[in-house]
Chains A and B, each alone.
Chain A
Amino acid sequence: METPILRVDTLKKHFRSSSGLLGGKTALIRALDGVSMDVSREETFGLVGESGCGKSTLGKTILGIYRPTRGSVIFEGRDITHLPRKEVVKVRKDIQYVYQNPGSSLDPRWKVKKILAEPLLIHTPARGAAVEKKVEEMMDAVGLTPQQLSLYPHEFSGGQQRRLGLARILTLNPKAVILDEPTSGLDVSVQATILKLFTDLKSRFHLTYLFISHNLGVVQMMCSRVAVMYAGKIVEMGQTSRLFAEPLHPYTQVLLAAIPLVGKRKEEGLLLSGEPPNPADFPSGCRFWPRCSYREERCTIEEPPLVAVEEGRAVSCHRFTGSRA
């Protein structure tokens, strides 16, 4: 089996937040609390979960925008977790990040041409005509025209700004792209166009995607494998079609049942009650137990490990972790 292009090993990212006027009490926010996963070359791997589950934090920690608290990130066989600054810059050529809110990730005072050229100016010795050519190529690749290069970001629509964000990182020919909520806030028809673009670009440039989204319908359509996150950890992972057809983790089941689909009236029984847990104060044992309809005493004491239940499928739930204590 080929080595995965990206491997994450027990990755944790904790933040300290100070509350109180003079920074008295500090709380430890365990945004990412032990995630391990592999992504294969040219795969589209989905990462789903609701707000606060840690999926964005995972994306940013993999890229190095946040320094991991613990664990490691291995990219193309190389440990990139604790690289010195100069090396980090080099790695950024190969693995890139596309921001959730496209408008605010582009400098509003820069013309688009400058914005797209910047990565090349930072990372390569290319200048002048060579840079211009590449920039025009990328505009074309994302479905925009070279005439639009003299405009400012605010003169583009939301969908177009998303394309600009993509074009910018594609100038470096990255191997892997982390897409953070790439379709949030987009109209349905614009979303479809963007998704088509992602698919085109992937085959054209042989990209690997880490697709972070809370939109399960989109993930189901785009991703071959998916991991479901809750409270900083992965609770279920596997092939998308299998997982969606037969969700095993109680949270996954509720999550899928909650999607409002056209033509499907929901059964009331599967409604999830309560709120997601406070990342500064997780329940003991399994983090989902306060909202779980299957809970038993064991769940409140012991955290279930992520175990493989069949080929390519893993779940973190005591119902699947072998014999009872």
Chain B
Amino acid sequence: MTGLKLIGRKFSRDKLAFTGSLIILSLVLTAALAGLLAPYPEDVFSIHPGERLQPPSSNHLFGTDSMGRDIFSRLLFGARITLIISIIAVGASMLIGVPLGLLAGYYENWVSEAIMRIADVFLSIPQIILAIFLAQSLGPSIHSVILALSVTYWPWFTRIVFAETRALKKTSFIEATEALGAGRLRTMLLHVLPNVSSPIIVRSSIGMGFTILTAAALGFLGAGAQPPTPEWGVTIAESRQFLPDAWWYATFPGLAIFLVVMGFNMLGDGLRDILDPRIRRGLE
């Protein structure tokens, strides 16, 4: 049975991964089809002061906010922003972190030392503080959030890829491949990389959850997306002065964040089990 089929089978049986992926799928669909699903798509921008702070009703599923905008519609569009931020941030981290990890793991000299020490430096930078700093210098925006997240998250990938590459070097097939005359680049890209892809995938999933949470926190602090962007964290920030009366204002964006982060974590955990190397040995 091919690797992919085996993975597919295991996937459908693992409740964690399955539920997680359902949640994520919903998120993606929501983001993509926000325009169609939202009852009041114009509420991303237009305001209706007459309908402000109305509790959830049949007209407004999640109620309205301080500007009379439909929270449900804005949440749906917020999903788009959330996804964009995390995909770019995690993607950039991967693009930086994975190659560095490969190099550090494969070589066993000053190159590896240098890379890992640099990774350590970046790991010790507190994300939120850097984001606030960038917000101050470059002006707060989604871009500064993405920058802050990418710059601080890539070392996680480097570390994992480094550890896995080192472990792989102990098996003789890397040595055997070199003994055949394969060059270093070839070995790294064609042999090491596919074999470390599983931990990378798991880390990406968990990383998505992590960046979403941080992006929301930054939005909440005002260091990221700015109003009137319907970002979830920004919405929660807006709701502060109207709590606890307008409970729906904070609860629904909060729930959305919670659900999505949990979804990515479940997916990541489930994937970790499924992509266990044992799968390659035919499920003994």
Contacts and interface: CB of A to CB of B under 8 A. Distances in A.
Do A and B touch directly, given a CB cutoff of 8 Å in the complex? yes
Interface of A: 63, 65, 88-89, 92-93, 96-97, 99-101, 104-110, 118-119, 122-123, 152, 154-155, 165, 168-169
Contacts of B15: none
A118 B177 contact: yes
Given A152-B280, A154-B281, A155-B282, A107 B173 contact: yes
27 contacts: A65-B175, A65-B178, A88-B181, A89-B181, A92-B179, A93-B181, A96-B180, A97-B176, A97-B179, A99-B172, A100-B172, A105-B173, A105-B175, A105-B176, A106-B173, A107-B173, A107-B191, A108-B195, A108-B277, A108-B280, A109-B3, A109-B280, A110-B194, A122-B183, A123-B181, A154-B281, A155-B282
A92 B173 contact: no
A99 B195 CA distance: 20
A97 B175 CA distance: 11
Contacts, number: 63
A46 B178 CA distance: 25
Interface string B3-32: 100000000000000000000000000000
A165 B175 CA distance: 13
A118 B182 contact: yes
Given A107-B195, A122-B186, A154 B280 contact: yes
Given A107-B191, A108-B280, A122 B175 contact: no
Interface residues of B, number: 22
What's the dominant secondary structure at chain A's contact region? helix
A63 B177 CA distance: 13
A110 B193 CA distance: 12
B195 to A, nearest CB: 6
Contact of A122 (B2, B180, B195): B180
A99 B280 contact: no
Contacts of B183: 122
A174 to B, nearest CB: 11
Contacts of A168: 180
B58 interface: no
- B interface, over-half SS: helix
Contacts of A107: 173, 177, 191, 194-195
A98 to B, nearest CB: 9
B220 to A, nearest CB: 43
Contacts of B182: 118, 122
Interface in B157-197: 171-173, 175-183, 186, 191, 194-195
Contacts of A165: 176
A15 to B, nearest CB: 13
A117 B178 CA distance: 15
Given A104-B171, A122-B186, A155-B282, 7 more contacts: A92-B180, A105-B175, A110-B191, A118-B177, A152-B2, A152-B3, A168-B180
A104 B277 CA distance: 13
With a 10 A CB-CB cut-off, give which of B172, B186, B191 has the most chain A CB atoms: B172
Contacts of A108: 173, 195, 277, 280
A250 B180 CA distance: 39
B282 A154 contact: yes
Nearest to B2: A152
Contact of B172 (A88, A104, A119): A104
Contacts of B173: 104-108
Nearest to B281: A154
A123 B195 CA distance: 24
Contacts of B178: 65
Contacts of B195: 107-109
